[in-house]
Amino acid sequence: MTVRGVIFDLDGVLWRGRLPIEGAAETLATLRREGFRVAFCTNNSTRHRSEVAEKLRSMGMPAEADEVFTAGALAASIIARDWQGRPVLMVGEAGLRRELTEAGVELTDDPDVAGLVVMGWDREISFDKYRRAHRAIEAGAHFLATNPDLTFPEADGGSAPGCGGLSAVLVASTGVQPECHGKPDPALFASIAAEWGLEPHQVGAVGDRLDTDLGAARRFGCLGILVLSGVTTQADLDGLDAASKPDVVLASVVELPALLMQS
């Protein structure tokens, strides 16, 4: 095994809600001590990268903002690059707003002037937010969603609607499918590997979702490692064809150092 860098998803992998996954801090400390590169990659757009790093540190997992890669930050960079001059109507939380503002994106609440609608996960979604986004898309605004996750894992073992679940309302009402660059799109993984100077076969991606985390790993060509501490269960794996199965399945990240250091 030639893995030298590990990309961790967060929700369901290193924490669930406000609770860390047992042994996650020790796992990260061991990998760093053994010389592995570490990055954190999430489809969750509610927090700015610096806030994600702060949450990791509060759980005993040292991390810096430049080690964090979020779908919100990626969306902001793409909008700033490809949609300059078009006011953006945002549906999302403070972390996404900060990423967009720092990227120089012009924001508006007026659906009549919006040239683009960007939707992130929003735990305060309302009819008015949906109405304004619907009206903007109906008038011709481009539609971008930070990620397609239908559900979001919660600390009690259940789940809530994710960004993909929320944006499905707009898909149903407008008939427009959003552009999406979060996982399973491999763009985030590619940018991390490029920063490390590693090839795909030298990277391992750890996630709890078959569709997004492991889908991105498959499309990027790196080692896909599924942990059963999040939304995917062993029952979900039963009956899958070989092409759809993860490269590795672990109960949690606690088992990761032994896997990566066995060669």
Q: Is 9 a catalytic residue?
A: yes
**Is residue 110 annotated as a catalytic residue, yes or no?**
no
Backbone angles phi, psi at 100, to 5 degrees: -65, -45
**Any residues with CB less than 8 A from the CB of 98 and at least 6 apart, and which?**
48
The neighbour count for residue 262, using CB atoms within 10 Å, is 7
3-state secondary structure of 14: coil
Report how far Cα 150 is from the mean position of its chain's Cα atoms: 12
Angle at the Cα of 53 from the Cα atoms of 50 and 58, rounded to 5 degrees = 125
If one counts every other C-beta atom within 10 angstroms of the C-beta of residue 44, the result is 24
Cβ–Cβ under 8 Å, residues 108 and 83: no
Whether the ω angle into residue 153 lies within 30 degrees of 0, i.e. cis, is: no
Q: Residue ranges of the alpha helices (H) in the chain?
A: 24-33, 49-58, 71-82, 94-102, 127-138, 163-174, 187-196, 213-220, 234-237, 256-260
Catalytic sites, residue numbers: 9, 11
